[in-house]
Amino acid sequence: MSIKDRLSGNEAVATAMRQINPDVFAMFPITPSTEIPQYFAQYVADGKVDTEFICVESEHSSMSACIGAEAAGCRAVTATSSAGLSYMNEVLFCAASLRLPVVLAVSCRALSGPININHDYSDSMAERDSGFIQIYAENNQEVYDNYLQAHRIGENEAVRLPVMICQDGFITSHALENIEIEEDDAVKAFVGEYQPENYLLKAENPLAAGPYGTSPYYMEARVAQAEAMKNARKVILDVAADFEKTFGRSYGFFEEYRMEDAEVAMVIMGSSAGTAKACVDELREKGVKAGIVKIRVFRPFPAEELAKALKGCRAVAVMDKSEGFSACGGPVFAETAGALINEPVRPKLINIVYGLGGRDFTVDQAARVFARLAKIAETGETGPVYTHLGQRDLREEAQ
């Protein structure tokens, strides 16, 4: 039976970790994820887990320790944010290419410069091609639920990939919300025990981890890794289906909100989706056929399913809470455009970069985006495809 509680997103992650009781937690603090190891350290001190809690000297070392633990056959976890995630960059690729299902909790925060401690997705998006599965949350309930599903996804024998569970720094990481948590025994039964197939301490099958990949072998290893990411699509949905059957809450690659007859739509991620939903409700009362697609799973990217969800729309705004510095749009826009490229009939597409460094995103701003989409649907003219929303300067906002 579910238990009603009031938790921050960070505490929700730490609670899920406690219930799963991983073998190793390698810790180095960074705002706004520091509370996760802080809460977990208290669980260790109170004897509520028997996890080996390792305090290391850097984020690079925390992921390195997780890699060593996973290679030895342990279930390993850690948490980070912003520059800490960037400092892990080298070893993120190692974890993925070694097919080690580390679960990494990320309280997403802007990258320097200038230095900023507030929320956007510049940290996680910078690592989108590291080989990690990436799952994003709108609210604290989703943060908790996503974490409960993470180990089963990454540890599946058809996948064996690390998983990044992303939430919005300060917006969900520190804000308290009423959520439902599950009983410890139910969580343990759902997640199960880690059963690695091959590991360093398996005496029956000695192996090396991280060998030099010569030209005759490197590409085959990469292709196998790419196939594992494809396999993750089915596993993510299978785990979500079992999660719904077990706990009653439903998840998929994304959430469609009032999309059944939408003519204009927004593709968006994270907590901003709640603001956009409030705007859609207001617009629907005025007769505007507006809708939202909230991306939950960014890696693997659900291209086919997203194209299907958007095919009835006339105009779509893809909202990026990070800069791609490509001079033609952000990362979510690039993926969405790629998903639609071969569709015989597709909506007009624009990209709006917003919310950088914690800049507010309001219902009024969402309404202005939808007003622009309505104009595009009427005229067929997109105007500037790649624009910014909410910046404080003399440029005129695209109308």
State pLDDT tens for residues 126-151: 999 999 999 999 999 999 999 999 99
Instruction: Supply the range of the domain harboring residue 308.
Output: 254-389
Kindly give, in sequence order, each residue whose CB lies less than 8 Å from that of residue 97, ignoring residues fewer than 6 positions away: 131, 221, 222, 225
Residue 182 maps to which CATH number? 3.40.50.970
How many domains in the chain? 2
Computed over every residue of the chain, the mean pLDDT equals: 97
What average pLDDT does the segment 216-241 reach?
97
Question: Same structural domain for residues 229 and 284?
Answer: no
395 within a domain of the structure (yes/no)? no
The pLDDT tens digits of the residues spanning 370-398 come to 999 999 999 999 999 999 999 988 677 77
Query: In terms of Cα–Cα distance, which of 59, 149, 143, 139 is closest to 101?
Result: 149
Question: Same structural domain for residues 242 and 381?
Answer: no
Question: Same structural domain for residues 37 and 179?
Answer: yes
What's the confidence (pLDDT) of residue 34? 98
What's the confidence (pLDDT) of residue 399? 66
174 within a domain of the structure (yes/no)? yes
Question: Same structural domain for residues 91 and 202?
Answer: yes
399 within a domain of the structure (yes/no)? no
- Which of the listed residues 227, 247, 267 is the one where a domain comes to its end? 247
Query: In terms of Cα–Cα distance, which of 163, 241, 182, 164 is closest to 12?
Result: 182
353 within a domain of the structure (yes/no)? yes
What's the confidence (pLDDT) of residue 126? 98
Question: Same structural domain for residues 108 and 231?
Answer: yes
Look at the pTM and tell me if it is higher than 0.95. Answer: yes
Helical H segments across 314-353, by residue range? 331-340
Question: Same structural domain for residues 149 and 262?
Answer: no
The pLDDT tens digits of the residues spanning 309-368 come to 999 999 999 999 999 999 999 999 999 999 999 999 999 999 999 999 999 999 999 999
Q: What type of residue is 28?
A: F
Question: Same structural domain for residues 384 and 302?
Answer: yes
335 within a domain of the structure (yes/no)? yes
- Which of the listed residues 196, 230, 247 is the one where a domain comes to its end? 247
Instruction: Output the CA–CA distances (angstroms, integers) from residue 304 to 74, 233, 241, 273, in the order listed.
Output: 35, 11, 19, 21
- Which of the listed residues 230, 247, 264 is the one where a domain comes to its end? 247
397 within a domain of the structure (yes/no)? no
Beta strand 315-320 with 176-181 is: unpaired
Question: Same structural domain for residues 95 and 192?
Answer: yes
| Residue 397, helix vs strand vs coil | coil
Helical H segments across 21-120, by residue range? 35-45, 59-71, 82-87, 89-97
Question: Same structural domain for residues 263 and 180?
Answer: no
